[in-house]
Amino acid sequence: MNILEVSNVKKRLGKREIIKGISFNVKEGEIFGFLGPNGAGKTTTIRMLVGLIAPNEGSIKIVGHDLKKDREKALSCLGAVVENPELYGYLTGRENLMQIARIRKVPKKRVDEVISLIGLEGRINDKFKKYSLGMKQRLGLGAALLDNPKLLILDEPTNGLDPSGILDFRNIVKKAAKEDGMSVFVSSHILSEVQQLCDTVAFINNGEIQSIENLCDSNIETKTDTMIVITTENNDAIDIIKNLEFVNNISEDIGALTVNLNPNSTPQLVEALVQNNIGVVEVYKKHVGLEQRYMELVEGGIR
What DSSP line would sit under 47-103, residue for residue? Answer: HHHTTSS--SEEEEEETTEETTTSHHHHHHTEEEEESS----TTSBHHHHHHHHHHH
The SS3 assignment for 159 reads: coil
Amino acid at 192: S
Beta bridge partners of 284: 228
The domains of the chain are located at: 2-216, 223-287
pLDDT in tens, 42-70: 999 999 999 999 999 999 999 999 999 99
pLDDT in tens, 247-287: 988 888 778 898 888 888 899 999 999 999 999 998 887 75
Amino acid at 133: L
Domain 2-216: homologous superfamily in CATH:
P-loop containing nucleotide triphosphate hydrolases (3.40.50.300)
| CATH architecture for the domain at 223-287 | 2-Layer Sandwich (3.30)
Asked whether residue 111 carries a pLDDT value surpassing 90, the answer given is yes
pTM, entire model: 0.74
CA max distance for the chain = 70
